[in-house]
Amino acid sequence: MLKRLVFLSILFPFTLFFTPGAHAQRFMGAVSLGMNITQVDGDDFFGFHKVGLNVGPMVAVPFGKKRNWSVSMELLYTQKGSYHKGGSDSVNSYTYRLVQDYAEIPVLLHFTDRKLISGGVGFSYGQLINYKETKNNFYDTLYNYQTTLSNNDISIIADLQIRLFSKLWANLRYQYSIKSNRTVVIDNPKAYPRDPVTREQYNNVISIRLTWVFNQEKISKTPRKESSGDY
């Protein structure tokens, strides 16, 4: 079912692009490619050290008198997680890595000014399709998981896009989970006195992408008056 949904969502923008008439005017198809820079809040590590993919198609519906408002839906393959590399000494020479692969559906409301810059807000639903957690024995004593890693991630999104040229846009996006993905009790055996703390874990994501819009409207030029009065 998931593979079928991915295939149809990738095919849909191309279908709109090659469909003449009203449908091509009402819908815009696009595809985005970029990277996520991520961390997991609540794992007691700090810094956006995990890098992953962010790729997938988008369909947008412009509306309003000037068509400067739009609603978009995407289907993304996106990687989130956490990475921490310890020091070189024997006490701190440990590495922790959490890789989470999601099939994600963001839905956003955009406002575009002069067809050059666009801002949007929205939310997304992500379905976990694979994950891998790599840690050594130190983390087995540090972490006591109270719940398993959730199979879904619900996030809020703030989005900024700038038109580079023609149909190509640069995109900066911030995304944060509003639903805890896992509960963990953290107990550092090296600390004294021992003081275990309970943490809720949330995905914290910055995305940098390029987006190509297939049937992008051209930027209108200032009309020039002719002697006949036509433009």
Domains and CATH numbers, the chain: 2-132+149-181+203-213 (2.40.160.20)
* pLDDT 10s digits, 119-173: 999 999 999 999 998 877 666 667 788 888 999 999 999 999 999 988 999 999 9
Spatial distance between the Cα atoms of 164 and 156, rounded to a whole number of angstroms: 26
CA 50-153-13 angle, to 5 degrees, is: 90
pLDDT (0 to 100) of residue 193 = 67
CB 29 within 8 A of CB 16: yes
> What is the radius of gyration, based on Cα positions, of the chain?
22
Using the predicted structure, report yes or no on whether residue 33 has a pLDDT greater than 90: yes
Using the predicted structure, report yes or no on whether residue 23 has a pLDDT greater than 80: no
**In the chain, % of residues over pLDDT 90:** 53
* pLDDT 10s digits, 197-226: 888 999 999 999 999 999 877 666 554 444
Residue 7: phi and psi, rounded to 5, are -60, -45
pLDDT (0 to 100) of residue 197 = 85
CB 56 within 8 A of CB 76: yes
Q: Which among 3, 1, 23, 2 has a CA at the least distance from the CA of 13? A: 23
Using the predicted structure, report yes or no on whether residue 39 has a pLDDT greater than 60: yes
For residues 197 and 4, the model is more confident at: 197
| Sequence-separated (6 or more) residues with CB below 8 Å from residue 201 | 40, 41, 42, 43, 180, 181, 182, 183, 184
CB 185 within 8 A of CB 196: yes
Which range, of 87-91, 144-148, 164-168, 179-183, averages the lowest pLDDT?
87-91
Average the pLDDT over 27-54 and give the result.
93
Spatial distance between the Cα atoms of 182 and 195, rounded to a whole number of angstroms: 20
Using the predicted structure, report yes or no on whether residue 229 has a pLDDT greater than 70: no
| 20 preceded by a cis bond (ω within 30 of 0) | no
For residues 133 and 80, the model is more confident at: 80
Spatial distance between the Cα atoms of 177 and 175, rounded to a whole number of angstroms: 7
Q: pTM (2 decimals)? A: 0.80
Q: Which among 207, 214, 212 has a CA at the least distance from the CA of 34? A: 207
What mean pLDDT is reported for the chain?
82
Residue 137: phi and psi, rounded to 5, are -65, -25
pLDDT (0 to 100) of residue 230 = 40
pLDDT (0 to 100) of residue 65 = 86
Cβ neighbour number for residue 93 with a 10 Å cutoff: 12
Question: Which DSSP symbol is given to 107?
Answer: E
- What letter represents residue 87's amino acid? G
pLDDT (0 to 100) of residue 87 = 59
